[in-house]
Amino acid sequence: MKKIWKLEEVNILFQKPFLDLMFEAQKIHRKYFNPNEIQISTLLSIKTGLCPEDCKYCAQSSRYKTNIKKEKLLDIAKVLKAAKKAKASGSNRFCMGAAWKNPQERDMPYLLNIVKEIKKMNMETCMTLGSVNKTQAIQLAKAGLDFYNHNLDTSPRLYKKIVTTRTYQDRLQTLDIIRDSGIKICSGGILGLGENNTDRAELLMQLANLKKIPESVPINMLVKIKGTPMEKNENIDNIDFIKTIAVARIMMPTSYIRLSAGRENMSQNMQTICFMAGVNSIFYGCKLLTTNNPNQSDDLRLFKKLGLQTKKINIKNAQIESVIQK
């Protein structure tokens, strides 16, 4: 029977002494994964800016005057070229993001075509397109989409203050539709939105209590974007950030936990402690959607120093090759 987490239990984890929490997270990490292996994905924005949603952290919302280059839907040739480049650089999952509330019917042939073409390259595919309806999810699943990214971002309480153009329930409903279509779920959140540990506990509880735990859980550190209402947010304390990762690892033992946005502003030592707390996935490549990510060569040097190997995928069915059980 799947465990249902109660808030008191999660709060107890957050209140543990740091080193005890880290030890517990590491034991669990080693039980389900090879701790010296890291999964890497590359991101591309396929439609940038002019988003009708009002997420207060985002560079791409049309509500805020930010310094981004807006782009219509990218040509399919450009998308495939970027996927090829990502594959050549060692990445085996290509994640594509569009600044939409939801895809329109007219966009579907383009999206399905991209998925099919990237699958032919023997890469895993992930898309984040806003909310999707059942028909769209089934179409994407049939085209071979492996993952759909749709974040819950924070606790239900705080969410209302961060986004007003959709509800938490809308997000949960899309996750349900994705799950039923057979596409794997990538869902996580952002730290640094002004949340407290109870908000963090509630976010993790929402994720871990989904009918099936997300296969991939991105934890973003807020990238403060000039022009957004969050540009002057207070930094989240590093120890609080690491603790949240450790609690996520304990609550979602078989999920890939991705250290997502924000690595540009983290030292390599900080990133290493995040790996120790249970991170086993990152975005690889010098750009996220609109903001910078560390250079590939810096990441490769860090992997070498730490003896981290990048994860390979099984080419035949593009499934994750193995979750090495110990």
Residues tagged active-site: 51, 55, 58, 95, 126, 186, 258
Q: Is 82 in the site for ligand SAM (CB under 6 A)?
A: no
Q: Is 190 in the site for ligand SAM (CB under 6 A)?
A: yes
Q: Is 274 in the site for ligand SF4 (CB under 6 A)?
A: no
Least Å from the CB of residue 245 to ligand SAM: 15
Q: Is 49 in the site for ligand DTB (CB under 6 A)?
A: no
Q: Which does residue 61 touch among ligand SAM, ligand DTB, ligand SF4, none (CB within 5 to 8 A, set by kind)? A: ligand SF4
Q: Which is nearer to ligand SF4, 67 or 325 (CB)?
A: 67
Q: Is 46 in the site for ligand SF4 (CB under 6 A)?
A: no
Q: Is 128 in the site for ligand SAM (CB under 6 A)?
A: yes
Q: Is 143 in the site for ligand SF4 (CB under 6 A)?
A: no
Q: Is 55 in the site for ligand SF4 (CB under 6 A)?
A: yes
Least Å from the CB of residue 188 to ligand DTB: 6
Name which of residues 80 to 119 contact ligand SF4 (CB under 6 A).
99
Q: Which does residue 290 touch among ligand DTB, ligand SF4, ligand SAM, none (CB within 5 to 8 A, set by kind)? A: ligand DTB
| Residue 237 Cα to chain centre, angstroms | 20
298: CB partners within 8 A, 6+ apart? 268
Draw the binding track, 170-209, toward ligand DTB (x: CB under 6 A; -: no contact).
Answer: ------------------x---------------------
- In the complex, the residues that contact ligand SAM under the rule CB under 6 A are 57-58, 97, 99-100, 128, 130, 150-151, 153, 190, 220, 222-223, 225, 261, 289
